[in-house]
Structure 1
Amino acid sequence: MKRITTYTLLLMLALALMAWTFNSPASAQSSQQPAPRPTPTPVDDDGNVIEVTTREVRLPVTVLDKKEQPVSGLNIGDFQVFEDKQPQRIEGFIDEREALPIYIGVLMDTSSSTAGKLQFEKQAAKDFIYTVMRRRKDKVAFVTFDNEVRLHQDFTDKQDLLDKAIDNIKKPGAQTSLYDAVWEFCDQKLRGVVGRRVIVVITDGDDTYSRARLSDAIDIAQQTETIIYGISTKGGFAGSAVPGVLAGTVKDSEDRELARLCEQTGGRAFFTGDVLALERSFTKVARELRSQYILTYKPTNEIYDGRERKIEVRLANKQDGAKILTRRSYKPRKEGQ
């Protein structure tokens, strides 16, 4: 009995020793893979976190000769890009032969100041769509703005739906929220589309109600790579047949703001009450859009501080009288801002 008890005690001690050895920290470390270490967050010499952002700038570019005809057949080596006067390397190039779809927003002023010109505006909207949109390729949306911004027809390539939406506009509203209309359409409708982005604004140019400012409208159009064309219903000539269009009022302060909105985004404004001249302008716009190049570059200045940067596009071999249409500036921001 005494011998069995001693043997039992010795066996229990041996088992306890084995269990202690198996569960010891050294054994546990050797039997498990080490936990992966996270990639360290980059910091500067003062311990501040460095935010890393990769950003490309895309520039829709139209080149016109001295007769204001689009110049086609250019390649990447024919262009030079400068940001704040510093040369940039062009890393992406799309020429006019790559027929990307165009998403067009037609934004029509229906404020009280346009009451006598409503029929002219509606016809101008239809004419622009007829001239520029390619069926089964491009898409158009129709919006009106007065004291409210209203989407009457979302993006479609159906001409009959667009005509119906335009014809249904009967009465003007009160105020003019031009800059709000541009801001909302760019933000809500153009951010996610794949293709070229264009807005045509039909207005007398006098914003009276927007929360957004002219600079806000330009900024978001540049962010979304949207080209804006303006049709001023205030800029007629003497003897104009368009009711409500006054002679001799071209290029007042409101017209200058409309011109700036267009030019800063790579477009242009048209000041005429002559319907035939307007149709010729639409044909010119259509040709320009079909002859457009897209240049892409990564800025050498990688500080995304939201400050405005000036952009200049030049031809490597200068052509007499050549004119380049593109956006003139942008404000770099970190992703998510």
Structure 2
Amino acid sequence: MRRYFGRFVFVLFVSICVIGLLISPVLSQQKQKDAQGNAQQKSQDDEQIPRLGVTEVFVPVTVVDKRGRFVYELKQEDFEVYEDKKLQEIKRFEARLEKPIHLAVLMDTSASVRPKLKFEKEAAISFIQTVLKTRKDKVLFATFDSAVELRQDFTDSVEALSKAIEQVRAGGDTRLYDAVYRVCEEKMGLDKDKRYAMIIISDGADTASERTLQEAIDIALQKEVLIYGISTKAGGFFGVGGGQVQNEEDKELRRLCEDTGGEVFFPGQVMELERAFRDVRQIMANQYGIWYEPKSKLDGKFHRIEVKLVGSGYKEKLEVRAKKGYIAVPSGRAATE
């Protein structure tokens, strides 16, 4: 009996092995077909997924006459936008931007501004008081010397911002470009329904940054941040006249501001300082908004923008101020990577 049972088990084992050898190629072919089918389906699905990058370029525009007065009555048909000298189609236009503003106020607290720190504090508090008149706008306050430090995150509380400003002390080197880069990278451009701007209060002399001026400009362009500069070089009448010829630091601060679509001011007296604050506030309150879809590829390169006015007499009578370009990179990728 045991002999017959052992023979039966042996025959059963051999039969299973033979069946396995017969069906193995069939299963292997089926797996290959399934893998090919899945790959084909994934490829088709990938083709249907839109590739998002720089799908729309936003250009805030300010127009002034020869006396520096803002021009309000222009319409979409009065503007033309060129990218790399090629005419673009304007997709959207706003005669007056109503987006809430998120402002970053960056104060130079390095040793070079120690005699001017009181001037800087008064400048910062005065500016914030003029801007935060509505609850829809918010301000961030940061300082830079040998380190970049966030003192107060975005808030609409003048009291909280003023308290943070009053507590700062001066000392150390100047990391202006590092401050611009870090604040832009970490805090700006996160909500497309808001406008982002930066106010730099400094004497303009960068001495210790790891980032370059061009890197600071590039990240601001990518994040669509307009940069305005208030120079404290004259700093409360510390021996530098308001009409002094600009040095290299002044030119770099001007380039940082104007290349991103902003402006720089060199107040030498209290009245000039107040006028600078008023001008910045008026600029942000009286901007046209232009949107267009770029025809260029996401090549990681800088593409130059030029905004022109069309119509008789506009070129001679009016001045157009806008950012000079943008970096064509996919969303979420740093412009300088």
Fold match (TM-score > 0.5)? yes
Whether the 8 Å contact between 1:117 and 1:245 is mirrored in structure 2 is no
Taking structure 2 as the reference length, the TM-score comes to 0.81
C-alpha RMSD of matched pairs (Å):
2.2
CA shift at 1:74, angstroms? 2.1
Distance (Å, rounded) in 2 between the aligned partners of 1:268 and 1:52: 31
**What is the match of residue 137 of structure 1?**
136
Pairing 1:295–2:294 present: no
Is 205-214 or 248-257 further displaced after alignment? 248-257
Evaluate the alpha carbon distance shift between residue 165 and residue 83 of structure 1 in structure 2; reply closer, same or farther with a 3 A threshold: same
Distance (Å, rounded) in 2 between the aligned partners of 1:324 and 1:246: 31
- What amino acid does structure 1 have at the position aligned with 2:106? L
1:34-88 Cα shifts (integer Å, max 9, x gaps): 978334467xxxxxxxx77562111111111121111113222111000110000
Distance (Å, rounded) in 2 between the aligned partners of 1:156 and 1:305: 37
For structure 1, list consecutive stretches of 5 or more residues without a partner in the other structure: 1-23, 29-33, 43-50, 237-241
Aligned partner of residue 285 in structure 1, secondary structure: helix
For structure 2, list consecutive stretches of 5 or more residues without a partner in the other structure: 1-25, 31-36
**What is the match of residue 232 of structure 2?**
233
**What is the match of residue 8 of structure 1?**
none
Distance (Å, rounded) in 2 between the aligned partners of 1:95 and 1:140: 24
**What is the match of residue 176 of structure 1?**
174
CA shift at 1:132, angstroms? 2.4
Distance (Å, rounded) in 2 between the aligned partners of 1:289 and 1:336: 26
- What amino acid does structure 2 have at the position aligned with 1:164? K
Is 217-226 or 72-81 further displaced after alignment? 72-81
Whether the 8 Å contact between 2:54 and 2:298 is mirrored in structure 1 is no
Is 80-89 or 326-335 further displaced after alignment? 326-335
Pairing 1:165–2:198 present: no
Aligned partner of residue 146 in structure 2, secondary structure: coil
**What is the match of residue 270 of structure 2?**
275
- What amino acid does structure 1 have at the position aligned with 2:135? R
**What is the match of residue 203 of structure 1?**
202
Aligned partner of residue 306 in structure 1, secondary structure: coil
Whether the 8 Å contact between 2:185 and 2:219 is mirrored in structure 1 is yes
**What is the match of residue 151 of structure 2?**
152
1:25-40 equivalences under 5 Å are 37-40=41-44
Whether the 8 Å contact between 2:54 and 2:329 is mirrored in structure 1 is no
Choose which of 292, 298, 319 in structure 2 pairs with 1:304.
Answer: 298
Distance (Å, rounded) in 2 between the aligned partners of 1:304 and 1:118: 43
Distance (Å, rounded) in 2 between the aligned partners of 1:245 and 1:163: 28
Is 252-261 or 320-329 further displaced after alignment? 320-329
Evaluate the alpha carbon distance shift between residue 168 and residue 52 of structure 1 in structure 2; reply closer, same or farther with a 3 A threshold: closer
CA shift at 1:243, angstroms? 4.6
Distance (Å, rounded) in 1 between the aligned partners of 2:255 and 2:218: 12
**What is the match of residue 190 of structure 2?**
192
Distance (Å, rounded) in 2 between the aligned partners of 1:52 and 1:224: 16
- What amino acid does structure 1 have at the position aligned with 2:305? I
Whether the 8 Å contact between 2:106 and 2:199 is mirrored in structure 1 is yes
CA shift at 1:235, angstroms? 4.1
Distance (Å, rounded) in 1 between the aligned partners of 2:172 and 2:237: 19
Evaluate the alpha carbon distance shift between residue 117 and residue 228 of structure 1 in structure 2; reply closer, same or farther with a 3 A threshold: same
CA shift at 1:304, angstroms? 1.6
Choose which of 256, 261, 270 in structure 2 pairs with 1:266.
Answer: 261
Pairing 1:57–2:68 present: no
Evaluate the alpha carbon distance shift between residue 245 and residue 163 of structure 1 in structure 2; reply closer, same or farther with a 3 A threshold: farther
CA shift at 1:172, angstroms? 0.7
Distance (Å, rounded) in 2 between the aligned partners of 1:263 and 1:93: 22
Pairing 1:328–2:332 present: no
Evaluate the alpha carbon distance shift between residue 52 and residue 280 of structure 1 in structure 2; reply closer, same or farther with a 3 A threshold: closer
Aligned partner of residue 273 in structure 1, secondary structure: coil
Whether the 8 Å contact between 1:235 and 1:249 is mirrored in structure 2 is no
Aligned partner of residue 106 in structure 1, secondary structure: strand
**What is the match of residue 249 of structure 2?**
254
**What is the match of residue 101 of structure 2?**
102
1:149-199 Cα shifts (integer Å, max 9, x gaps): 111111111111111111111x21210000011111111111213311111
Aligned partner of residue 37 in structure 1, secondary structure: helix
Evaluate the alpha carbon distance shift between residue 85 and residue 164 of structure 1 in structure 2; reply closer, same or farther with a 3 A threshold: same
Distance (Å, rounded) in 2 between the aligned partners of 1:282 and 1:75: 27
Aligned partner of residue 311 in structure 1, secondary structure: strand
Whether the 8 Å contact between 1:81 and 1:87 is mirrored in structure 2 is yes
Evaluate the alpha carbon distance shift between residue 283 and residue 255 of structure 1 in structure 2; reply closer, same or farther with a 3 A threshold: same
1:136-155 Cα shifts (integer Å, max 9, x gaps): 12101111100111111111
Q: Which has the higher helix share?
A: 2
CA shift at 1:249, angstroms? 4.4
**What is the match of residue 87 of structure 2?**
87
1:212-227 equivalences under 5 Å are 212-227=211-226
1:309-320 equivalences under 5 Å are 309-317=303-311, 318-319=313-314, 320=316
**What is the match of residue 70 of structure 1?**
70
Identity %: 43
Aligned partner of residue 305 in structure 1, secondary structure: coil
